[in-house]
Chain A
Amino acid sequence: GAGVSQSPSNKVTEKGKDVELRCDPISGHTALYWYRQRLGQGLEFLIYFQGNSAPDKSGLPSDRFSAERTGESVSTLTIQRTQQEDSAVYLCASSLALHPEQFFGPGTRLTVL
């Protein structure tokens, strides 16, 4: 079946602009995660959604970052007033509820000029 998909695959934006990244999880996966991977760094957890429960936002680096998910489907990660340090690959992963194996999407490479 189809895996996790993300769009766009690449995004170049100017400092100060807002960007919106999209993730389509695997059908039936109630858990959804966003991570960020800066060049030369490990993946950083950003936010976690599980069904209709309140999301775990403990990894969001600032109030410029927000994410939404409607039910158990698509999620969007929004970064407002982008800064150069926001440049990274943003990865989305999904899994079955309370299952350890996460399936990652191909990522969105964000470049802030």
Chain B
Amino acid sequence: GQNIDQPTEMTATEGAIVQINCTYQTSGFNGLFWYQQHAGEAPTFLSYNVLDGLEEKGRFSSFLSRSKGYSYLLLKELQMKDSASYLCAVREDRRAGYALNFGKGTSLLVTP
């Protein structure tokens, strides 16, 4: 089994930068994912890290440190539409395919 921890809620201002942290404990790590989920909607894929380091994709970046069991999602130039829940998920060796274990999500509120 594993634990995935991320803050429950965060608030940030439009145009600012916000960092959402995620820590995990797993017996066989095989990749870390970030998904975005707007209220009442399906999750959508944001990023995937399997090696240490930073992956940048437009305004969003994701970082992984496997030795520390730590990842963060960085959102730059925040927009009101970025208000959503951000889900950290881990892929384990014991599961087939890309079956994921998700954290409870971080609810981000972007204010004017």
A residues in contact (CB < 8 Å) with B: 4, 31, 33, 35, 40-45, 48, 50, 56, 58-59, 91, 95, 98-107
Contact = CB atoms under 8 A, between A and B. Distances in A.
Interface of B: 4, 31, 33, 41-45, 48, 87, 89, 94-105
Contacts of A100: 31, 33, 45, 48, 98
Contacts of B42: 4, 91, 104-107
A5 B107 CA distance: 25
Nearest to A50: B97
A33 B95 CA distance: 12
Given A42-B105, A56-B95, A104-B42, 15 more contacts: A33-B97, A41-B104, A43-B43, A43-B87, A45-B95, A45-B99, A48-B96, A48-B99, A58-B94, A59-B95, A91-B43, A95-B97, A100-B98, A105-B42, A106-B42
Given A104-B44, A106-B42, A43 B99 contact: no
B99 A56 contact: yes
A102 B42 CA distance: 11
A91 B99 CA distance: 13
Given A42-B103, A42-B105, A43-B87, A101 B96 contact: no
30 contacts: A4-B42, A31-B97, A33-B99, A41-B104, A42-B87, A42-B101, A42-B102, A42-B103, A43-B89, A43-B102, A44-B101, A45-B95, A45-B100, A48-B95, A50-B96, A50-B97, A56-B96, A58-B94, A59-B95, A59-B99, A95-B98, A98-B97, A98-B98, A100-B31, A100-B33, A100-B48, A100-B98, A103-B45, A106-B41, A107-B42
Given A42-B4, A45-B100, A104 B43 contact: yes
A89 B4 CA distance: 20
A4 B44 CA distance: 12
Contacts of B101: 42, 44-45
Nearest to A33: B99
A40 B97 CA distance: 26
